[in-house]
Chain A
Amino acid sequence: MEVSAGFMTKQDALVRFSDENCTLQLEVRSSVSGLFGKAVRKAAGEELSRLNVINGRVWIEDNHALDFVIRARIQAVVMEMREAGCKV
């Protein structure tokens, strides 16, 4: 199963989450990766950790999103996945 949240519009991020049977993998593609790619990864990683996500695969396509947007989009996909009954 794969779910997504957010958009590719400016200052937003499209986050996709697949419940693949693997340890958690996080992939970030950012229009400003040289400058903020690390920050996006850090915000996403912290949020996934806070939500106790230990497996699955997360892709983030960032378009200048602030940290609060990354955190919110991560929450949205994790919640949707869990409400669908997936153990992630």
Chain B
Amino acid sequence: MRSWLYCPGNSPKMIINAGIYGADGLVFDLEDAVAPDRKREARILLAQAFKERIVPVEKSAVRINGPETEDWNKDLEEMIPAGALIIRIPKVEHPEQVHRICNLLDRIEADNGMDTGKVVLQCILETPLGVENAFVLGGSSSRISSLSFGAEDYCAAVGIPRGSDLLPLDYPRSRIASAAAAFGLSAYDTVWGFLDDETGLAADALRAKSLGFKGKSLIHPDQIELVNRVFSPTPDELADARNILEEAAFMDGGAGSLNGRMIDRPVILRAERILQSAEETGIRESTDAE
């Protein structure tokens, strides 16, 4: 998934239209986008949208309220029976929080005749403690499908500006991407909040991609096309991957070379992943004939 578009969970218009813009995934938000005195009506509205398949359930996540609030369990009690299968948890810091959520999910799934573990979790790490615990969090439950970075709260806590200087975020991004990879999870990058700064968005997304992120969360449909492009394999990457695999077909299990470059198992694996990613996102290598 290259792009995850956030949509307020209490806006019928956004809920109805969210799927038409071309984002790979949608995140319906019951947390920051909903005022405290509107939480109940938001979760009822969103649950009804899931029940009636107003939203594309298979690619729709729900960001519940944080594990230290009074609302996260109500969110799950309402959304899972309604059909939500991807839950995004904000401000995760400790494995105990994940376990608490998983215990409730076990019970809700059983009550609703669902297979245990059907609901998967996306953990957002957006505090220094969450970032430092990325590895233990990534391994804290088999339900976890991805780790995401949340830069706004992180920057506020550490006391660094969020803007065009991307260097200060290399550490948390690398830590999260590496922890995710250790468990075979996807890593998704933070939102870019400067809507008029497309150049900044491109630089931010490219930086995240270079550090191992597979996609990015978005706050506006206008950001989708650029982010999808950044997180798709480039034509050069695709051509290179195909050449590597063609060469590998003649190798006898060990190492070989292509244009002076060593080809061994990790290089082949990376080439395979690039082609797989292209296939998943419907991208084809352009050829001379085209």
A and B together in one complex: yes
B interface footprint on A42-79 (CB within 8 Å = 1, 0 otherwise): 00000000000000000000000111110111011001
Q: Write the chain B residue with the least CB distance to A67.
A: B52
Among B16, B40, B41, B47, which residue has its beta carbon within 8 angstroms of that of A11? B16
Query: Is A80 positioned at the interface, with any CB of B under 8 Å from its CB?
Result: yes
Does A75 lie within 8 Å of B44, measured CB to CB? yes
Interface residues on B, range: 10 to 19
**Inside 8 A of A65's CB, which chain B residues have their CB?**
12
Does A72 lie within 8 Å of B48, measured CB to CB? yes
**Inside 8 A of A5's CB, which chain B residues have their CB?**
41, 44
Query: Is B49 positioned at the interface, with any CB of A under 8 Å from its CB?
Result: yes
**Inside 8 A of B16's CB, which chain A residues have their CB?**
11, 66
**Inside 8 A of B13's CB, which chain A residues have their CB?**
9-12
Rank and list the top 4 A-B pairs by shortest CB-CB distance, nearest first: A76-B41, A72-B48, A72-B45, A11-B13
- 14 further contact pairs, Cβ within 8 A, besides A69-B12, A76-B41, A79-B40: A5-B41, A5-B44, A6-B41, A12-B13, A65-B12, A66-B12, A68-B48, A68-B52, A72-B44, A72-B48, A73-B41, A75-B48, A76-B40, A79-B44
B interface residues (Cβ-Cβ under 8 A, vs A) = 11-13, 16, 40-41, 44-45, 47-49, 51-52, 54
